[in-house]
Structure 1
Amino acid sequence: MATLVNVDGDIVPPAQARVSVFDRGFLYGDSVYEVIRTYRGQPFELDAHLARLAHSAERIGLAPPWDAPRTAREIGRTLAAARAAGGDPAPAPDAAPWNVGEWYVRVVMTRGAGEIGLDPALAVNPAAVVIVQPLPAPPASAYVEGVKAVVVGVRHAPAAVVDPSAKTGAHLNHVLAVREARARGAHEALLLDERGFVTEGSSSNVFVVAGGRVRTPPLAAGILEGVTRGVVLRLARAEGIPMDEVPLRPPELEAADEVFITSTMREIVPVTRLGERAVGAGRPGPVTARLHRAFRRLAGGPPSAMLG
């Protein structure tokens, strides 16, 4: 298996990849990015990811060095080179069957390097990077048994401070949230806003199920418009599952029959423990399992291993 990096069109092994230490993505997080995964070797929901990348760049006034068609071509070139260099990725221990042989793709666009200073006008030569590596997905046990999530003390950045619709490289609050979650033995950190409402996970969107009805915070809560979140909303409508986008507080998660999180890498993962409390029956629930089966049908490949 091979990990390769595409820097401004040049595909090299990671040890040979170079970006200037004066690049603003490194110095200030002045960059935008997307994370994409493959199914059967092909990028999933690529158009949606590239549209969000362009939106993120527009929101922070960054002129991407590549347009969407060029970015799609460079992703394809890098994936093909990784396959040629090392074949399909070797399966991780306890890998879920639909993650075996798949790839992780990270696309980063920075404002570029230049004289040190906060003024964006100092930047020259915007940089484009594509990283391809074997998919670092959760083990099958995460889907069969569920995971633990905790509400952390780190608060979600207010929308008035950071535009939540832009996926940028400025992630320190989420890094600190994950640090706290790991110290408490949890798979995911859930962040509250300044009013105490649930917003999102450190790298996921959160959903609750109560009485057969699915609820998730609205975009107006100041959250990123997750690509997988959008897929789940469409699937719920197609499956006839009632779905509401409404504000949520921690007690509603604690009282829920089911809780699950969604992300590109993880698809739909059941949360069976919230802090030290069991969620519902303490195992993946039927609505979560139904949505994951529908997701697996859409993505193709082996069916869901989730119970319920």
Structure 2
Amino acid sequence: MPRHANHRRTGSRRAGLLHRRAGLAAQPGGSRLCIADSDCCGRRSWGGVLDWRRHRGRFEPGTRVPGNFAQGARIFGWLGGGATAVTLEELKGFVWLNGRITAAARARISVFDRGFLYGDGLFETVRCYRGRPFALDEHLWRLERSAEFLELPVPNVPWHEMVHKLLAANKLLEADASVRITVTRGPAAPGLIPPAHVTPTVMAFALPVPPALAEQQRKGIRVVTVPVLRSGRLSAHKLLDYVPAILARIWARNHGAEEAIYIHQSAVCEATTANVFALVEGTLVTPPTRELLPGVTRALVLELAREAGIRTAERQLRVDELTEAAEVFLTSAVVEVLPVVRVNDHRIAHGKPGPLARQLLQLYRQRVNETLAAKRSK
């Protein structure tokens, strides 16, 4: 695995700045499990969001986020997690599977694939603008770092060619889309210890970015806080085990919100599929990436903010600072910069997206256009 910024199979464009800003190297620290009440923020209460003992694995009933947001939660249930507003029956397009474009309905993997049996794999999601992927090299660099962490070999794939063919097959070359790349360790005899020689499974699919995202960016979204179920070194990698995020999203949906933010001992971690920013007393604050996913978009937004003369800080962000912040927004490759207008029962920025989020979204899209135009001219 390469440890430098260049990606050995995607061209020689140097992406070191984003890598350094993202802090993508694995960080020391043990893995922890914290079940805490989201309201008391870390007081080790078993009566909170996920009370497995008293409710047999079900979520404990709780107070809904004020307002009738259930319909909106259903409309925007796809938020950043690779899902979409269409049904499974409507997904009749094409996928990339182990070197070939094939109809999704005919794609098959082994029942003994370790990704299926154990969640032994990882993934990346890349945003594409009118057929052109943005920051693909950075996402692939992070994928390789995570694969190195898992001691999982990544096969030699012509990634840029694969993305183009996948978008073309799904008639998405003129649309905004997201491409999810999944790599598993591959099929092997059951057992926790993987064999020495195994062929990884590589699968990718493309989906259009739903038009609802524009409305979310214009109006903002509601979020709830939940206890973090995974932290430590594993949190720095996009592993296939997304059960904590699924549980958090169910909790958010049941409480009329579109997204959930993980809390650990009164400190903000990240959202289920995005990084978190808050404007606190004139400073744009985001939690450090020591034990959370170092987002590619997060790194670029920090860079853009600093270039615009905005004071930034990568430090612990307390829950009370989040709920009292002048602005809150999320960042990811798919949602770009997404304003938050309510956290639990706290209204943010008078319930409307603030000027900083709008400014950074504009700067982000400007950088996207400049970067893709520069690549096209080469």
TM-score bucket (shorter structure): 0.7 to 0.9
Match of 2:131 in 1: 41
Report whether the alignment pairs 1:66 with 2:135. no
Structure 2 CA distance for aligned equivalents of residues 241 and 66 of structure 1:
41
Partner residue of 1:165 out of 236, 239, 252: 236
Question: Are residue 274 (structure 1) and residue 348 (structure 2) matched?
Answer: no
The 2-side partners of 1:256 and 1:133 are apart by 34
Contact persistence 2:121–2:183 (CA under 8 A): yes
| 1:75 corresponding residue in structure 2 | 163
- Deviation sequence 1:132-181 (CA, Å, 0-9, x none): 222246432211211101102x424120xx52222111111111111111
Partner of 1:5: 95
For residue 196 of structure 1, the aligned residue among 251, 254, 266 is: 266
Classify the secondary structure of the residue corresponding to 1:163: helix
Measured after TM superposition, the shift of residue 33 of structure 1 is 0.8
- Distance, in Å, in 2 between the alignment partners of 1:123 and 1:157 is 30
Work out the CA distance in 2 between the residues paired with 1:155 and 1:166: 15
Q: What are the superposed Cα offsets for residues 115-137 of structure 1, whole Å, 9 maximum, x if unpaired?
A: 11111227722111111222246
Aligned with 2:351: secondary structure?
coil
Shift of 1:106: 0.7
Deviation (angstroms), 1:2: 6.8
Match status 1:258 vs 2:327: yes
CA contact (8 A) 1:138 1:266 kept: no
One of 346, 349, 354 as aligned partner of 1:285:
354
- Local SS of the residue matching 2:237: coil
The residue that corresponds to 2:104 in the other structure is: 14
Residue 285 of structure 2: aligned partner: 215
Q: 1:129 aligns with which of 203, 210, 215?
A: 203
Q: Are the equivalent residues in 2 in contact too, given 1:112–1:127 (CA < 8 A)?
A: yes
SS at match of 1:139: helix
Distance 1:123 1:168 in 2: 21
> Distance in 2 between the 1:28 and 1:136 partners?
31
Name the residue aligned to 2:185: 111
Q: Which moved more, 1:140-149 or 1:121-130?
A: 121-130
Question: How many Å separate the matches in 2 of 1:137 and 1:239?
Answer: 29
SS at match of 2:350: coil
Percent of aligned pairs sharing the same letter: 38
Structure number with higher strand proportion? 1
Amino acid at match of 2:132: Q
Using the size of structure 2 for normalisation, the TM-score is: 0.71
Shift of 1:73: 2.4
One-letter code aligned to 1:80:
A
What 5-or-longer segments of structure 2 have no aligned partner? 1-90, 371-378
Distance 2:253 2:120 in 1: 27
Contact 1:3 1:134 in 2 (8 A): no
88 and 40 in structure 1: CA distance in 2 versus 1, 3 angstrom threshold? closer
Q: Which residue of 2 aligns with 1:92?
A: none
Q: Cα RMSD between the aligned structures?
A: 1.9
- Residue 95 of structure 1 aligns with which residue? none
Q: How many pairs were matched up?
A: 280
Q: Quote the Cα distance in structure 1 between the aligned partners of 2:149 and 2:173.
A: 36
Partner of 1:244: 313
Determine helix, strand or coil for the equivalent of 1:22. coil
CA distances 1:8-35 after superposition (whole Å, capped 9, x unpaired): 1111111011111110111111011100
Structure 2 residue 253 is matched with structure 1 residue 182: yes
Code of the aligned partner of 1:134: P
Q: TM-score, normalised by structure 1?
A: 0.86
AA in 1 matched with 2:187: A
Matches of 1:109 and 1:291, distance apart in 2: 32
In structure 2, C-alpha distance between the alignment counterparts of 1:265 and 1:157, rounded to whole Å = 23
Q: Tell me, what secondary structure is at the counterpart of 2:218?
A: helix
Show the counterpart of 2:85: none
Retained in 2: the 8 A contact 1:111–1:123?
Answer: no
Structure 1, unaligned runs of 5 or more: 90-100, 302-308
